Amino acid sequence: MLDPDSGLSLTIARIVQRLQGSSLHSQLERQARVSLHKPEIKLESLKEDIKDFLKTSGWEKKLQNAVYSELNVFPSPCHPAAPPEHMKEPLAYMRKAQGSWEKRILKSLNSMCTELSIPLAQKRPASEQKELLNKWNEMGTDEPDLSLFRPVYAPKDFLEVLMNLRNPNYENGEQPSFRNHLGLIQVPLKVKDIPELKEDFSELGLNTGQLGIDDSAQVPPEFFENEHVRVGQKVLAEQDSAAAQQYVRQGCPTALRADLWALILNISNQPEDILYYEQLKSNVIQYDLLVDSLIYKDVKLTASNDDYYFVFEDYLYQVLLCFSRDTSVLDHFTYSSATPPKSYIRGKLGIEEYAVFYPPNGVIPFHGFSMYVAPLCFLYHEPSKLYQIFREMYVRFFFRLHSISSHPSGIVSLCLLFETLLQTHLPQLFYHLREIGAQPLRISFKWMVRAFSGYLATDQLLLLWDRILGYNSLEVLAGNGIIFTKCVQSMW
C-alpha cells in the first residue's frame, strides 16, 4: 500500500515532469524574465517579487488550472514496485480480455484491407491533394462509394465480449441464487450503492437547484435561474477551473456552457494550438488512410441521418480525420487498459524497428464513434477549438466507453452499476424485461457506449454532459440509463 506522503510526492513529480514540456512552462519562464526589468522587482526579494508578479498578472491562475487539469486526467500513482501494466489495469484477466478484443479488432481491419486490396496508408496524388484542400469546408457534399466498407465493430459486438467476461479466481455457480447477479455482466467488481451515490453526487439531490428543471417555465427565474447565471459569470471572470467544475454540477446556462467547458478542460486555443491543428490538416491532405473511409462511413450511417446533427457533417469529417493523425492522443494509453495497434512497413513484417502505430492516434473508429463529436458542434464553431475540446473529452472520458477495464468509469463497471441498481431498486421492471427476453442491458448498452449522444435531445444531452464534466466521472450515465429505461417502460 502506498502511504499518502509518498503518493503525494509521486504525483507532484509527475505533474512537474508533464508541465516542463508544455508551452505554459516556456511562457512562464518568458514572463519571469520580462518581470526582471520592472522597477518593483528587487534583488533582495527576487523570488517573492516574481511570484507576486505572476500572481497579479494572471499567470499563477493559469498554472493552477494546468495542475488541476493534470490531477483530473491522470490516475493516482501506483506503488513504485508495481509493474507498469498495473497503472493501465490492475486486474490480469481484464488485461487479457482487452488484449484479445484488440486482436479481434485488428484482424477485422486487416481482413477488410486484404479483401478490398487497399493499403492501410498511402500518399495522395497531387491532384487529389489539391481537390481535397479545395473542398475541405464542404466534404459533406462528397459521395464516395463506401458500399464495400463496413464498421470494424458495433456496440452489440462489444457487449457480447463483456457478457463472456469472467474472473478465473471467482467461482460463481451456474444456478441462480440470492448471491448471484442476474444480469448479463458476471464479474465481481465493486460498484456504488444508493447511499454512496447520494454522497458522491450530493449536488444532484432534490434540495439543490438544477438547471434543466428549476429553470422551467413553471418556476419564476428569480428563484434560481438568474442567480445561477450570475454565479456562472463570476466563475468565468475568475478563470478558475476548479470553481467551474463545481459550478457545472448543477448544469450550465446555454450562453456560458462553451466557455465553462473550455475552462474546465483547460483549453485556450492559443496560436500554437491553431498551428498544430493546421499541421494535422496538412497530414490529412497529404496521406490517405484506410480508417478515413471508416470515418466517412460512420458519419454517413449515424450523424448524417440524425435530425439534430446532419448539418454538422463537414465539421465531423474535419475533426475526426485530424484526430486519426494526432499522435498526442497516444499519451492516454499510459492510463488506459488499451494498447495502440501496430502495423509494419511493407516487407518488414515482424521487425519491431519497422513497426508503427496505426492509425497514428492508436484509436480505430467503430460504429457510432462520430457521435462523440456531434453534440460539441452546437457549442464550438471554430474548427481548431472544436477539435481540442473533443480530443480532451476523449482522453478524459470517452475512451473508457469502448475499452475493457475495472475502472469505476469504465464501461464494465457502468454496465454492472446499471444492472445492480435496476435489480435492487426496480426489481419488477428488471424481472419483467428478463422474462420477455429483453435484458435491460441489451436495451441500454448502446445508450451508454455513446454517452447518450443520438438518444437524448441535444439540450438534455448537454445537461447530462455538464454533470460528467462536473463530477469528472461517467457514473452518471448508469443512473441516466435507469431513468431512460423507466421512461421506455412507461411507453409500453
- Cell numbers describing residue 449: 457506449
What does each C-alpha distance from 450 to 73, 124, 209, 459 come to in angstroms?
A: 20, 32, 27, 16
Where residue 349 falls (left for φ over 0; alpha for ψ -120 to 50; beta otherwise) is beta
Q: Name residue 253's amino acid.
A: P
pLDDT digits (tens, 9 = 90+) for 309-321: 999 999 999 999 9
Q: What is the mean pLDDT of residues 367-389?
A: 96
pLDDT at 490: 53
pLDDT digits (tens, 9 = 90+) for 431-474: 888 888 888 999 899 999 999 999 999 999 999 999 999 999 99
What does each C-alpha distance from 297 to 113, 142, 288, 301, 427 come to in angstroms?
A: 15, 12, 15, 6, 40
Q: What is the mean pLDDT of residues 209-222?
A: 69
Q: For residues 185 and 162, is the Cβ–Cβ distance under 8 A?
A: yes
Residue with cell 521487425: 351
Q: For residues 404 and 165, is the Cβ–Cβ distance under 8 A?
A: yes
d(CA 393, CA 401): 12
pLDDT at 434: 84
- Looking at per-residue confidence, does 179 or 425 come out higher? 425
Question: Is the predicted pLDDT of residue 177 greater than 50, yes or no?
Answer: no
pLDDT at 34: 78
Among 80-94, 127-141, 213-227, 280-294, the least confident range: 213-227
Q: What is the mean pLDDT of residues 353-380?
A: 92
d(CA 65, CA 240): 7
Question: Is the predicted pLDDT of residue 47 greater than 80, yes or no?
Answer: no
Question: Is the predicted pLDDT of residue 398 greater than 50, yes or no?
Answer: yes
Q: For residues 332 and 399, is the Cβ–Cβ distance under 8 A?
A: yes
Cα 433 vs. chain centroid, distance in angstroms?
A: 31
Question: Is the predicted pLDDT of residue 367 greater than 60, yes or no?
Answer: yes
Q: What is the mean pLDDT of residues 335-341?
A: 92
Tell me what the pLDDT averaged over the chain comes to.
Answer: 86
For the chain, give the percent of residues with pLDDT over 70. 90
- Cell numbers describing residue 483: 431513468
- Looking at per-residue confidence, does 437 or 287 come out higher? 287
Q: For residues 444 and 239, is the Cβ–Cβ distance under 8 A?
A: no
pLDDT at 486: 57
d(CA 215, CA 226): 9
Q: What is the mean pLDDT of residues 285-295?
A: 94
Question: Is the predicted pLDDT of residue 280 greater than 70, yes or no?
Answer: yes
pLDDT at 435: 86
Q: For residues 406 and 96, is the Cβ–Cβ distance under 8 A?
A: no
Query: Which band of pLDDT confidence, cut at 50, 70 and 90, is reported for residue 179?
Result: very low
Q: What is the mean pLDDT of residues 236-260?
A: 94
* Beta carbons within 8 Å of 425's beta carbon, 6+ residues apart: 194, 482
Question: Is the predicted pLDDT of residue 181 greater than 90, yes or no?
Answer: no
Rounded to two decimals, the pTM is 0.89
pLDDT digits (tens, 9 = 90+) for 402-411: 999 999 999 9
Q: Name residue 368's amino acid.
A: G
Measured distance between the N- and C-terminal CA atoms of the chain, rounded to whole angstroms: 51
Question: Is the predicted pLDDT of residue 207 greater than 50, yes or no?
Answer: yes
Q: What is the mean pLDDT of residues 274-301?
A: 94
Residue of 229, 259, 263, 250 lying closest to 464 (CA atoms)? 250
pLDDT at 178: 40
pLDDT at 77: 62
- Cell numbers describing residue 53: 508578479
Question: Is the predicted pLDDT of residue 215 greater than 60, yes or no?
Answer: no
Q: For residues 142 and 135, is the Cβ–Cβ distance under 8 A?
A: yes
Q: What is the mean pLDDT of residues 173-182?
A: 53
Q: What is the mean pLDDT of residues 88-106?
A: 94
Pairing of strands 121-123, 287-289: antiparallel
Question: Is the predicted pLDDT of residue 489 greater than 60, yes or no?
Answer: no
pLDDT at 140: 78
- Looking at per-residue confidence, does 13 or 166 come out higher? 166
pLDDT at 3: 61
Query: What's the length of the chain?
Result: 492
Question: Is the predicted pLDDT of residue 26 greater than 70, yes or no?
Answer: yes
d(CA 55, CA 49): 10
pLDDT digits (tens, 9 = 90+) for 149-174: 889 999 999 999 999 999 888 765 55
Q: What is the mean pLDDT of residues 240-263?
A: 94
Question: Is the predicted pLDDT of residue 62 greater than 60, yes or no?
Answer: yes
Residue of 289, 410, 288, 285 lying closest to 338 (CA atoms)? 410
Residue of 158, 144, 56, 146 lying closest to 102 (CA atoms)? 158
Half-sphere exposure of 459 (CA within 13 A, CB side): 7
- Looking at per-residue confidence, does 481 or 167 come out higher? 167
pLDDT at 173: 54
Q: What is the mean pLDDT of residues 376-399?
A: 96
Query: Which band of pLDDT confidence, cut at 50, 70 and 90, is reported for residue 263?
Result: very high
Residue of 296, 306, 317, 315 lying closest to 458 (CA atoms)? 306
pLDDT at 472: 94
* Secondary structure in 3-state letters for the chain: CCCHHHHHHHHHHHHHHHHHCCHHHHHHHHHHHHHCCCCCCCHHHHHHHHHHHHHHCCHHHHHHHHHHHHHHHCCCCCCCCCCCHHHHCCCHHHHHHHHHHHHHHHHHHHHHHHHHCCCCEEECCHHHHHHHHHCHHHHHHCCCCCCCCCCCCCHHHHHHHHHCCCCCCCCCCCCCCCCCCCCCCCCCCCCCCHHHHHHHCHHHCCCCCCCCCCCCCCCCHHHCHHHHHHHHHHHHHHCCHHHHHHHHHHCCCHHHHHHHHHHHCCCCCCHHHHHHHHHHHHHHHHEEEHHHHHHHHHHHHCHHHCCCCHHHHHHHHHHHHHHHHCHHHHHHHHCCCCCCCEEECCCCCCCHHHEEECCCCCCCCCCCHHHHCHHHHHCCCCHHHHHHHHHHHHHHCHHHHHCCCCCCCCHHHHHHHHHHHHHHHCHHHHHHHHHCCCCHHHHHHHHHHCCCECCECHHHHHHHHHHHHHHCCCHHHHHHHHHHHHHHHHCC
Question: Is the predicted pLDDT of residue 484 greater than 90, yes or no?
Answer: no
d(CA 190, CA 416): 9
- Cell numbers describing residue 87: 497503472
